Amino acid sequence: MVFPLPDGLPSGRFESRGAVDVWVSAELPEDIVELWPRLMESAGATGVQPHLCWPDNPFFLQDLEAVDAIRLESVLAADFAEYRQKRLPWWREPLQYDDLPEGIAPWPHDPGPPFESWPGLAAAAESRTDGPTPEEAAARLVEDLLGTHPFAHACHLALVPARRSADVPAVLGWSSEAPLPLVCALLRSWEERFGARVVGAFGSELFASVARPPLDLPHAERLALEHVLSTADNIVDDPPTPFPEYAAELVGRTEWRFWWD
């Protein structure tokens, strides 16, 4: 079902994604950075989320019920146990290349997380009067992508009917190697705990702004483990950033980038 469009948009068209119609601009709006906060602010009333994507990307529709069914604590606890048993030893010990399991790249320099067992989800970050709002953080990320990412200017603006930005990759059927139900469940939780918002997903990359990042290392370490368990290749496989280094980089960071090959 089509929906009313806000004023000030460039030309575009509605496209069908299964039972959902999304609107896609014919070109990236010139005022996209200024437009973004306004679209986000109205999303609560309209149920329509702004999103950067490539036009004509292949898509594979996802059922949001699969996202609803994810129980993060139990799923991540099991995934962490498997990570410690099957992957982490190959990064801590001297290499025996003939014995590498299938799908495990040899990077023997990562001590891994400082947890012997699943520590639970990272605590929600406290709101700060001197921090950005989710709308401001998202607009900054859009501006940064357009200034630094070599393929961001090929994006178009999509308006997607979804309850929250975390659901947009599934509603659009974003095509990648990501375990999409788990990733969207994580994104939902990060929205609530860290003021994260999905700004775009194109190619194999997904970009989220963060209004309330962790501000100390112990907090960032808990969050970094959740990022590792997202299975994103830029964190765990290409080669993996050593865990202590990756966790330290999350302190105060207001944008998160993931990609799956």
Average pLDDT (32-56) is: 92
From 8-12, 28-32, 99-103, the region with the lowest mean pLDDT? 99-103
How sure is the predictor about 57, in pLDDT bands with cuts at 50, 70 and 90?
confident
- Residue 164 vs residue 110, higher pLDDT: 164
Average pLDDT (208-237) is: 94
| Residue found by looking up tokens 């594979």 in the block | 60
pLDDT of the residue at 93 = 56
Among 222, 193, 218, residue whose Cα is nearest residue 119: 222
12 pLDDT exceeds 60?
A: yes
pLDDT of the residue at 206 = 97
pLDDT of the residue at 59 = 76
- Residue 119 vs residue 17, higher pLDDT: 119
**pTM (predicted TM-score):** 0.91
- Residue 84 vs residue 169, higher pLDDT: 169
How sure is the predictor about 88, in pLDDT bands with cuts at 50, 70 and 90?
low
From 59-68, 147-156, 204-213, the region with the lowest mean pLDDT? 59-68
